[in-house]
């Protein structure tokens, strides 16, 4: 799902707000921290049993993700450290919201609450694994921008399901659990195809070194056997007892 056009439209709509934040002296890191704090509050509200209100608060906090990047570009403070912190804080907020939903289902009960909690755990695993595969790919020098269900899509699907009520949220959790794991597998296959496998030349070199080592060991054993053969054989004649008088 490609939402790049929607993202660009959203950035244009919030540009006046970004300019206002810049005039008030806000830094991108401050905006990122404020966003994750708001999402944590939304997760707590959901855990308290107010699914609709908590989801609205969560969406407000998630919207800050469009503000901190635009503010960094406006102020000329774009950095890898800022991108790193922004990404980590976003994952904190997403995980906290999922935990809030899990608590909501456990407190609310119902016939499917245990299945919903399992689906939330699978979704959380898939979300973290999807991000980890991309980070690991970049760590070995490859890019990984593919993905059927990335963070923006996950947040939208989760939020829409929560706003429509616990029953439709249950359906959304099924979709999220399957799609996040599928996206992880998709990324693993994508990166694995791009990475080089074992070099046959290196394998031949290792085999040649092993053969040389085995030949050297065999030659050493032959030399040892030859040295033993050169030793004088020991006599089989019994040792004559010493005369006691000879000891005096």
Residue 243: inside a domain: no
Residue 242: inside a domain: no
CB 141 within 8 A of CB 175: no
Q: What is the pTM of this model?
A: 0.74
Interval 191-228: pLDDT, tens = 999 888 776 666 666 666 767 777 777 766 655 555 55
Active site residues: 90
Q: Could you tell me which residues come within 8 angstroms of residue 201 by beta carbon, excluding any fewer than 6 positions away?
A: none
Interval 69-88: pLDDT, tens = 888 888 888 888 888 888 88
Query: CA dihedral in degrees (157, 161, 162, 164; nearest 10)?
Result: 140
Our count of domains for the chain comes to: 1
Interval 1-60: pLDDT, tens = 455 566 666 667 778 888 888 888 888 889 999 999 999 999 999 999 999 999 999 999
Residue 135: inside a domain: yes
Q: Which CATH number covers residue 159?
A: 1.20.120.1760
Distance, CA of 159 to CA of 81 (rounded, Å): 29
Distance, CA of 86 to CA of 36 (rounded, Å): 9
Residue 204: inside a domain: no
**Is residue 240 over pLDDT 70?**
no
Residue 160: inside a domain: yes
* Structural domain range at position 13: 4-194
């Amino acid at each position: 799902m490609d939402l790049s056009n929607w993202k660009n439209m959203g950035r244009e709509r919030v540009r006046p707000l970004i300019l206002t934040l810049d005039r008030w002296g806000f830094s991108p890191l401050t905006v990122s921290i404020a966003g994750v704090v708001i999402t944590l509050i939304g997760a707590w509200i959901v855990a308290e049993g107010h699914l609709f209100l908590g989801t609205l608060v969560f969406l407000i906090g998630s919207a800050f993700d469009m503000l901190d990047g635009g503010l960094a570009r406006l102020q000329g403070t774009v950095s890898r450290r800022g991108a790193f912190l922004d990404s980590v804080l976003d994952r904190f907020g997403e995980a906290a919201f999922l935990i809030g939903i899990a608590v909501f289902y456990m407190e609310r009960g119902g016939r499917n609450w245990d299945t919903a909690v399992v689906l939330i755990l699978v979704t959380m695993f898939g979300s973290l694994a999807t991000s980890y595969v991309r980070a690991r790919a970049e760590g070995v020098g490859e890019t990984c921008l593919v993905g059927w269900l990335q963070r923006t899509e996950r947040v939208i699907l989760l939020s829409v399901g929560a706003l429509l009520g616990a029953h439709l949220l249950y359906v959304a959790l099924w979709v999220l659990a399957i799609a996040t794991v599928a996206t992880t597998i998709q990324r693993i296959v994508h990166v694995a195809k791009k990475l080089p496998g074992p070099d046959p030349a290196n394998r031949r070199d290792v085999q040649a070194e092993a053969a040389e080592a085995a030949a050297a060991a065999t030659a050493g054993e032959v030399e040892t056997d030859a040295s033993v053969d050169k030793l004088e054989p020991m006599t089989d004649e019994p040792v004559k007892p010493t005369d006691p008088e000879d000891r005096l």
